[in-house]
Structure 1
Amino acid sequence: MKIRNFSIVAHIDHGKTTLSDRILEDTGTVPKRKMQAQLLDGMDLERERGITIKAKAVRIQYKDYILNLIDTPGHVDFSYEVARSLRACEGVLLLVDASQGVEAQTVAHAHLAQSLGLKIIPVMNKVDLSQADADASEEQLWDILKEPIEAERVSAKTGMGIEHLLDRIITDIPAPQGDPNAPLRALIFDSYYDPFRGVIMYIRLVDGSVKPGQMIQFMSSGASYKTEEIGFMTPKQLHKTDSLSAGEVGYLVAGIKDIHQVKVGDTITLAERPAEKALPGYAEAKPVVFASIFPVETTDFPLLRKALEKLNLSDSSFHYQSETSKALGFGFRLGFMGILHIEIVKERLEREFNLSLIATSPNVVYHVKFTPRKSHPQELAALPDAPDDPGYKIIDNPANFPPHGDIIDIKEPVIHITIVTPVEFMDGVMTLLKEKRGTFMSMDHLSNQRVIIKYEMPMGEMVIDFYNKLKSVSKGYASFDYEVAGFRSSDVVLMEILLHGTPVDALSVVVHKDKAQTMGRALCAKLKELIGRQQFEVAVQAAVNGKVIARETIPAFRKDVIAKCYGGDITRKRKLLEKQKEGKKRMKAIGSLNIPQEAFVAMLKIDEE
């Protein structure tokens, strides 16, 4: 079978998208007059940030062979997309920047490809740079792979070595082994919504074949649909075909109007001749970080609802539900795959739908066990049960925490974090991990200059300014990758922020008990600076378990009401001052605060001072 299915994986900024561009150009898939940088990155946001957010697939004709290239995201937040894309391939190009060496996500991707039994072709990129050391980078990769595999030397920017790499793809990556006569089994590795045709699924056929007009069935849900159109993908358009068979990569349209009915990673089979067993590896993509989004103008809430509905059609990996905040009014609670995912969704909402939004500080999900009481609001009783922790409830919003006296135990998510750093910054990185309540797991030397450190760390500590601090202590040279490792009981508490005596639910945060007072003081000081002076005195307080642990007072603006009094009886001046005092007291009783948007990201920056 003259088909080769392969993917390109790399750490972010190692030249993966540029290599895709050169392959498309050198094989004539895209004419040179139509060629442009980051061709497969269709979103403006992808081009501006220089990152791939959505996986792409494209068919390439080269020397009588069909090469199916699946371009994957490089950022750690989108590792689930990388995993399901690799399951659609037989081989992988493991790209390393020869001027930087092996990074954390290089390690993660290499181990993932090995666990799936894929053929790995190491590729040293940017070898034309003066600071490149391809030999040292290759040796680091051998230590990771535990076997010496000859690496290709290329420059994706200039095109050097691309032709030899293409020949190596043909010779080294095995052909698909599926049986075209067996019952259909096709993996859905991506999907997107087209307003005219409905959901378009990207599929890899492992066994069997499919034609238009046949009834397909999703093996996870059992739902059946009639196939309307099938074909394969080129860089800028879809091409119809009469059939797709085992080994091929293509697209399928079945008139599905709701993208949430299509589960990425699911297996498609034929309703009339179903397969006995689904393809392995399917798992629901679960959000790990949560944040609330509110419109700056409360009248924009219906527009925000419509915008989320439309955006969710093209990016079904985030979840949302409506919520109400006493401080910010009506908004939505969203679940994301990571911190970058929050930034991407918020920026797309503001840019594509012309909205002004406030996003609260992100937090993770907790498993909480508490004493049920009749006085509890219905929301607590309606909280979902934790699947692996009987008796625990899932809480993804600090505002939903039960009263502190009723809490029996709180479990927080922990991650296994892998950091690759130069040896000279090792002490600073390990000190940072200790501050973030990390537990040492292992350490290996990649070379005399670079080391791999593995720690177990609470995920909530990574959410609060970890990335910036890691780059600061390593001068930008350290990189990290992580995976969620379960839940552990922890001595964490809910810290409430009170402004003018009223709790602001959107500013509530869950912190470790030992850090509560330090963080409370820092946050109160930051809020005092951000909110600024009002016409009345404002108290900014942090409270844990009903007790105030930190306070800052924002003084009121005061007008010099006795400036016009020159001489005369002192009682006249006192009368004016008493009148002003009464006015300030009345204003304090009925006054309300306008909280600036910067206050809601203060939680992310309180450790920078």
Structure 2
Amino acid sequence: MKNIRNFCIIAHIDHGKSTLADRLLDFTKSVTERERKEQLLDTMDLERERGITIKSHAIQMVYNYKGEDFVFNLIDTPGHVDFSYEVSRSIAACEGALLIVDAAQSIQAQTISNLYLALENDLEIIPVLNKVDLLSASPDEVTDDIVDLIGCHREDVIRASAKNGTGIEEILNAIVERIPPPKGDPDAPLRALVFDSVYNPFRGIETYFRVFDGSIKKGQQIKFVATGKNYSADEVGTLKLVQFPKKEIKAGDVGYLITGIKNAKEVKVGDTITDAENPTKNTVAGFEEVKPMVFAGIYPVETDEYEELRSAMEKLQLNDASLVFAPESSAALGFGFRCGFLGMLHLEIIQERLEREFDMVVITTVPNVSYNAFTLKDRDTAIIVSNPTDLPEPSYLDRVEEPFIKASIITKSGYVGPVMSLCIEKRGQITNQTYLTQDRVELSFDMPLAEIVFDFYDRLKTVSKGYASFDYSPIGMRKSKLVKVDLLLNGNSVDALSALLHADNAYDIGKRICEKLKELIPRQQFDIPIQAAIGAKIIARETVKALRKDVTAKCYGGDISRKRKLLEKQKKGKKRMRQVGNVEIPQEAFMAVLKLND
């Protein structure tokens, strides 16, 4: 065990984690010339197209240090705030972390957030200053920032350039010297933590684990503690670029396990694997339960594909444990699922993955957050409202509480004004303003989570010319003045389009939604009124005009009353048509609310 090092790479988005991981693999000769490519560990097409890491990826390397071979288990993690759950799981399986900071962009919000995650788990931090070769880099100033943040010595910060391969050997040496070897008892009963899993259509579920005590052998009878079920370890091995089967994985090491499990519900990320005959007494403290921030309904376009969608969601949940879903039904869309996501990018990625990996075309409803409602009958018991249709009638309602977050925004001092006005527009209250350096400011706000769900991140990047970075943490529920805005099409309420909004913004947003829907809903043979209502009060209205057929074309010449009679007859027909008429809603309409500012 003394020759094993488990570490992860943490950083803000786009600070060069994946490129550094590529260089470490090259330097340790873990990949051949033929296998080399950019973003080697990012296996999804989506990751390559967008240039971001979505999933954390584990890989094993062997490094010779002073004539002795060391086994490195590296986990490359995502940098976007929406995938911070992936980072927390990777950290639970490691003893050390490489903290990467871009020499041109300095410390960003997610850098600090990930650093705190690592420190909570008592990880050894190795600070690395990346991209020192850039003309815009200011290595000395950023080194000072890192020293202030971590409290290390200046000489502890390793200067590197993942693009050029500078400083890679120093990083590998530091991993051996500074990161402690894993602790654990090789002779104790098996105790291993499941930190990831993936569905393989041919072999069932592949489980990725880290052994803390004992060892796991091929053919051994093992038990998953959370589900209490026993299985046989058909294959165990280590994770190189391809899977590398072995007879045994010992304490301190990371590996994969194939048991032939086909049912996605039987594997839970964060679970403990132990020996079936001699189980361990103390399970591994997994990671905290995921707290979804954004809720949206996902429905199949064809209602008879509901079961296929359920199976696809279960397989996706295996690979992405932060996805939470429960069945629900809607009068407009039939049967589907209410899903919880960590943010809007997460929602977008899940929708893309359902389409690409499982050929499921889905309709996504307007995202919202979950609220607590209290009725006049019982003012102490909260009703959790994650769908606007669950909100009790206004006459029974005592109060509604909405989730608030503490937002931390780091930006250049020149953009403080626009950033502050954006946050105040989003009902934010400034709580702190700290100058990290002469040119960089950290702003702290208390804001409602619902306000940052839609377009906040994009607008923040726009007003700060891309310089602001953003991170948030929940701070609990607060009382708020919320109203439910219903949308009526042709007099019928469409439950999938209703939304919970703050009373001050309800009129404005209701009006804009009506205008947007007027553009998106196709014209029919009759007038379609689009109305936004709070309870029985209509607050906005637009009308999609009817397609008019020229019935008077055959009346040429003669008395005008003949034309009038025909038009009156047409009017009656249109009225009758409207009473039984069904309005078809295109898929774009359900996401119209997200694009109100376009």
Q: Shorter chain as normaliser: what TM range? A: over 0.9
Could you say which residue in structure 1 is the equivalent of 2:216?
210
Asked whether the equivalents of residues 6 and 69 of structure 1 are also in contact (C-alpha less than 8 Å), the reply is yes
1:125–1:226: structure 2 CA closer, same or farther, 3 Å change rule?
same
Asked whether the equivalents of residues 269 and 321 of structure 2 are also in contact (C-alpha less than 8 Å), the reply is no
Write the letter of the residue equivalent to 1:498.
L
Write the letter of the residue equivalent to 1:12.
I
Given the alignment, which residue of 182, 185, 189 partners 2:191? 185
Q: Distance in 2 between matches of 1:159 and 1:309?
A: 41
Could you say which residue in structure 2 is the equivalent of 1:434?
424
SS at the partner of 1:363? coil
Higher mean C-alpha deviation, range 171-180 or range 312-321 = 312-321
Could you say which residue in structure 2 is the equivalent of 1:261?
266
Asked whether the equivalents of residues 535 and 556 of structure 1 are also in contact (C-alpha less than 8 Å), the reply is yes
Q: Distance in 2 between matches of 1:278 and 1:92?
A: 24
Write the letter of the residue equivalent to 1:401.
L
Given the alignment, which residue of 175, 195, 214 partners 2:181? 175
Could you say which residue in structure 2 is the equivalent of 1:485?
475
1:596–1:568: structure 2 CA closer, same or farther, 3 Å change rule?
same
Q: Distance in 1 between matches of 2:178 and 2:364?
A: 48
Q: Distance in 2 between matches of 1:183 and 1:301?
A: 43
Could you say which residue in structure 1 is the equivalent of 2:23?
22
Write the letter of the residue equivalent to 1:201.
T
Q: Distance in 2 between matches of 1:258 and 1:419?
A: 42
Could you say which residue in structure 1 is the equivalent of 2:435?
445
TM-score, with structure 2 as normaliser: 0.93
Write the letter of the residue equivalent to 2:243.
L
Given the alignment, which residue of 499, 504, 512 partners 1:522? 512
SS at the partner of 2:34? helix
**CA deviation string 1:227-247 (max 9, x = no partner):** 333221101x22222322222
Instruction: Check if 1:456 corresponds to 2:439.
Output: no
Asked whether the equivalents of residues 267 and 318 of structure 2 are also in contact (C-alpha less than 8 Å), the reply is no
Instruction: Check if 1:91 corresponds to 2:96.
Output: yes
1:222 CA drift (Å): 4.2
Q: Distance in 2 between matches of 1:300 and 1:256?
A: 24
Instruction: Check if 1:50 corresponds to 2:51.
Output: yes
1:28 CA drift (Å): 0.4
1:298 CA drift (Å): 4.4
**CA deviation string 1:13-70 (max 9, x = no partner):** 1111111111111110001222111111111111111112221111101101111101
Residue pairs, 1:559-578, within 5 angstroms: 559-562=549-552, 565-578=555-568
SS at the partner of 1:35? coil
Could you say which residue in structure 2 is the equivalent of 1:228?
234
Could you say which residue in structure 2 is the equivalent of 1:539?
529
Q: Distance in 2 between matches of 1:331 and 1:201?
A: 28
Residue ranges of structure 2 left out of the alignment (5+ in a row): none
Asked whether the equivalents of residues 192 and 259 of structure 1 are also in contact (C-alpha less than 8 Å), the reply is no
Q: Distance in 1 between matches of 2:247 and 2:360?
A: 44
Given the alignment, which residue of 159, 168, 175 partners 2:165? 159
Asked whether the equivalents of residues 143 and 446 of structure 1 are also in contact (C-alpha less than 8 Å), the reply is no
Q: Distance in 2 between matches of 1:224 and 1:302?
A: 27
Q: Distance in 1 between matches of 2:295 and 2:466?
A: 27
Could you say which residue in structure 1 is the equivalent of 2:503?
513
Q: Distance in 1 between matches of 2:546 and 2:84?
A: 50
Q: Distance in 2 between matches of 1:300 and 1:217?
A: 34
Q: Distance in 2 between matches of 1:31 and 1:267?
A: 35
Q: Distance in 2 between matches of 1:68 and 1:353?
A: 31
Could you say which residue in structure 1 is the equivalent of 2:576?
586
Instruction: Check if 1:403 corresponds to 2:403.
Output: no
Residue ranges of structure 1 left out of the alignment (5+ in a row): 374-388
Asked whether the equivalents of residues 264 and 315 of structure 2 are also in contact (C-alpha less than 8 Å), the reply is no
SS at the partner of 1:94? strand
Could you say which residue in structure 1 is the equivalent of 2:146?
141
1:147 CA drift (Å): 3.7
1:565 CA drift (Å): 4.6
Q: Distance in 1 between matches of 2:371 and 2:541?
A: 27
1:459 CA drift (Å): 1.4
Percent of residue pairs bearing the same amino acid type: 52
1:274–1:396: structure 2 CA closer, same or farther, 3 Å change rule?
same
Q: Distance in 1 between matches of 2:380 and 2:232?
A: 41
Instruction: Check if 1:347 corresponds to 2:337.
Output: no
Asked whether the equivalents of residues 88 and 287 of structure 2 are also in contact (C-alpha less than 8 Å), the reply is no
Write the letter of the residue equivalent to 1:27.
T
Could you say which residue in structure 2 is the equivalent of 1:194?
200
Write the letter of the residue equivalent to 2:540.
A
Q: Distance in 1 between matches of 2:330 and 2:213?
A: 51
SS at the partner of 1:283? coil
Q: Distance in 1 between matches of 2:196 and 2:317?
A: 14
Q: Distance in 1 between matches of 2:157 and 2:533?
A: 57
Write the letter of the residue equivalent to 1:209.
S
Q: Distance in 2 between matches of 1:234 and 1:472?
A: 41
Could you say which residue in structure 1 is the equivalent of 2:589?
599
Asked whether the equivalents of residues 323 and 330 of structure 1 are also in contact (C-alpha less than 8 Å), the reply is yes
**CA deviation string 1:348-404 (max 9, x = no partner):** 22223334332111111222233679xxxxxxxxxxxxxxx9622323222222322
Instruction: Check if 1:295 corresponds to 2:319.
Output: no
Q: Distance in 1 between matches of 2:269 and 2:141?
A: 38
Q: Distance in 2 between matches of 1:407 and 1:222?
A: 43
Q: Distance in 1 between matches of 2:313 and 2:84?
A: 23
1:572 CA drift (Å): 1.8
**CA deviation string 1:541-594 (max 9, x = no partner):** 111133212222222233454456555322122212212222221222222211
1:457–1:233: structure 2 CA closer, same or farther, 3 Å change rule?
same
Q: Distance in 1 between matches of 2:310 and 2:38?
A: 35
SS at the partner of 2:591? helix
Could you say which residue in structure 1 is the equivalent of 2:539?
549
Could you say which residue in structure 2 is the equivalent of 1:243?
248
Number of matched pairs:
592
Asked whether the equivalents of residues 73 and 82 of structure 1 are also in contact (C-alpha less than 8 Å), the reply is yes
Higher mean C-alpha deviation, range 180-189 or range 299-308 = 299-308
Write the letter of the residue equivalent to 1:208.
G
1:208–1:354: structure 2 CA closer, same or farther, 3 Å change rule?
closer
SS at the partner of 1:32? coil
Q: Distance in 1 between matches of 2:492 and 2:576?
A: 17
Could you say which residue in structure 1 is the equivalent of 2:370?
365
Asked whether the equivalents of residues 259 and 316 of structure 1 are also in contact (C-alpha less than 8 Å), the reply is no
1:94 CA drift (Å): 0.7
Write the letter of the residue equivalent to 1:189.
F
1:264–1:314: structure 2 CA closer, same or farther, 3 Å change rule?
closer
Asked whether the equivalents of residues 110 and 144 of structure 1 are also in contact (C-alpha less than 8 Å), the reply is no
Could you say which residue in structure 2 is the equivalent of 1:378?
none
Could you say which residue in structure 2 is the equivalent of 1:495?
485
SS at the partner of 1:250? strand
1:158–1:480: structure 2 CA closer, same or farther, 3 Å change rule?
same
Could you say which residue in structure 1 is the equivalent of 2:457?
467
Structure 1 runs, 4 residues or longer, greater than 6 Å off: none
1:372–1:197: structure 2 CA closer, same or farther, 3 Å change rule?
farther
SS at the partner of 1:291? strand
Residue pairs, 1:2-21, within 5 angstroms: 2-21=3-22
Instruction: Check if 1:394 corresponds to 2:384.
Output: yes
1:97 CA drift (Å): 1.6
1:225 CA drift (Å): 3.5
TM-score, with structure 1 as normaliser: 0.91
